[in-house]
A and B are shown apart, each in its own frame.
Chain A
């Protein structure tokens, strides 16, 4: 179980409408990521689904049951918060058992489920510690444990990795993905980090100002961004967006080319520019190229990905050649031209 359907859901705080009418269908077992810049309403949307905020209008259905008016506890969803929201005065065991205790399960049953969850999450040795004595990653796992024991219809994650350091974040990302593979439960995951979205999701929902800009699989979004916003948001480093005369040559208002689909050369190419900062990552080098005359955004800069061995000094002249097959074209409304 774990179908969630939102139809014409809106949310206003006072006079400000943060979510304009929105429809969304989440199927059982999917890993759905809500992604967007801060303030785009992705957390609000998650809280609406969780029931922590009331919808202003519209309907939320969970497993074909109208859940719009249901209190959070009755929706059968479990949430992992950004701050983990562990209960600091309770041991890990009691934290994980809390939802079971509230549900009135008997003690033996509670213990059995807590032990099982702890085993899945490698927490067995820490069951009698307090959250304050655990590391960030362990706290994160306790929070997930507290969600698992309820056997919810869907898990909701609200930026769960943003408080972890970079190395741990990669590890936890894998663990959550593994968990999803094992449990096959619907998961809804909110993040502002498009890398997390791309790596974890079955389906990405890109949000801007409460509007859904595009829904699709990670590769769909990468290869066929529906509009300029999605094109600029998905992909790292960002897609180079070019407008003006160069775009007009391709019968478009704007054209976009990803850094990895540009070829850099010291001798010849289509566009000429001057090398700015080079970022050496070892495997790749990202070169910021200036003065291309392409009128790229406001700072007239194109990013190109080249081989890690590429030797380019600040101020050198460089030639760029786009891969025409991978060129994205957008019309004057910012929509993709196919």
Chain B
């Protein structure tokens, strides 16, 4: 692409979209930045004096912050591992020709269409409920004490629920990537004496690298802001066991009505998300060019 002229024209033509996007982003960001420097609590109406870094100081020294940060990373990491590994395995399975392939593929995508609140409630009430849930029933059927998932392993349970929602997305992208693998390459590997595992690790997995990168990048963006699933299942509890940063910001600003502190938390979350993004780009972004 092309002449100086066409490059200038291209810049001119994308500028309205870029400007709109910038305004859309910058106005809320600027307001949040502004609020984060005020003592602004809805329970104490009146003057909202400028307090500088005070809100940040409170947010960052709050013991809940470290817990929430660790929980956020565990949640993102756990879901990524489960969805990528599961997605590859499911993709391999669905890539095999079998009867009813079309219907099965549609069924596999289905969880992605269920909205997060609904799926979390279904998991909470129909599967994980220690009295009425399906899991409790199965435990009892083999004579075991039902396990109260959301009380005893809240974060793991939420990771499970979120993984269930995102597995279809990963499967779909990885399946299409697998289908785009040149079958002659696999045949060549077969002639070269590669068994199934060699073919998988030397041919398929490198071919999937780019798709895996895409899955990780897109999912990370969404997983950093998981909220609904926590709200309807554990409310961040017990204690802080399943509170992530998003939920902590919500708790600060809307449960304690402290807009200033919540805004400071929001800014911290934005910065952390950017750090994660930079790391991701550094680590795997190079897979995207070439």
Contacts and interface: CB of A to CB of B under 8 A. Distances in A.
Interface string A93-108: 0000011001100000
Nearest to B187: A52
Given A52-B187, A79-B188, A98-B202, A85 B194 contact: no
B105 interface: no
Interface string B58-94: 0000000000000000000000000000000000000
A81 B182 CA distance: 11
Given A82-B184, A83-B182, A89-B207, A77 B191 contact: yes
- Size class of the B contact interface (CB-based, 8 Å): 10 to 19
Contacts of A52: 187, 190-191
A110 to B, nearest CB: 13
B191 A72 contact: yes
B193 A87 contact: no
A83 B184 CA distance: 7
B209 A89 contact: yes
A161 to B, nearest CB: 16
A73 to B, nearest CB: 4
Interface in B182-208: 182, 184-185, 187-194, 198, 202-203, 206-207
Contacts of B188: 79, 81, 85, 87, 146
A86 B206 CA distance: 13
Contacts of B184: 81-83, 85
Nearest to A82: B184
Interface of B is mostly: helix
B198 A85 contact: no
Nearest to A80: B188
Given A83-B182, A85-B182, A89-B207, A99 B193 contact: yes
Interface string A43-54: 000000011100
A40 interface: no
Given A79-B188, A85-B184, A85-B187, A73 B207 contact: no
Contacts of B209: 89
Contacts of B202: 87, 90, 98
A276 to B, nearest CB: 43
A102 B192 contact: yes
A77 B193 CA distance: 11
Interface in B82-121: none
Give the residue among A71, A83, A98 with the most B Cβ atoms within 10 A.
A98
Contacts of A71: 190
A51 to B, nearest CB: 8
Contact of B191 (A78, A82, A103, A132): A78
B206 A89 contact: yes
Contacts of B192: 73, 98-99, 102, 146, 150
A79 B184 CA distance: 10
Nearest to A102: B193
A89 B198 CA distance: 15
Interface string B143-179: 0000000000000000000000000000000000000
Interface in A52-81: 52, 71-73, 77-79, 81
A73 B191 CA distance: 5
A78 B193 CA distance: 10
B193 A73 contact: yes
A99 B184 CA distance: 15
Given A98-B202, A102-B198, A85 B185 contact: yes
Contacts of A88: 207
B198 A87 contact: no
Contacts of A77: 191
Interface in A128-166: 132, 146, 150
A100 to B, nearest CB: 9
B222 to A, nearest CB: 28
Give the residue among A51, A83, A86, A102 with the most B Cβ atoms within 10 A.
A102
Contacts of B189: 87, 98
Contacts of A83: 182, 184
A175 B147 CA distance: 71
10 contacts: A72-B190, A73-B190, A73-B191, A81-B184, A82-B184, A87-B206, A98-B194, A102-B198, A103-B193, A146-B188
Interface of A: 50-52, 71-73, 77-79, 81-83, 85-90, 98-99, 102-103, 132, 146, 150
Given A52-B190, A72-B190, 11 more contacts: A52-B191, A73-B193, A77-B191, A81-B184, A83-B184, A85-B184, A85-B187, A87-B185, A90-B206, A98-B189, A98-B192
Complex A-B, nearest 8 residue pairs according to Cβ-Cβ distance, in ascending order:
A85-B188, A73-B193, A99-B192, A102-B193, A85-B184, A89-B206, A81-B184, A72-B191
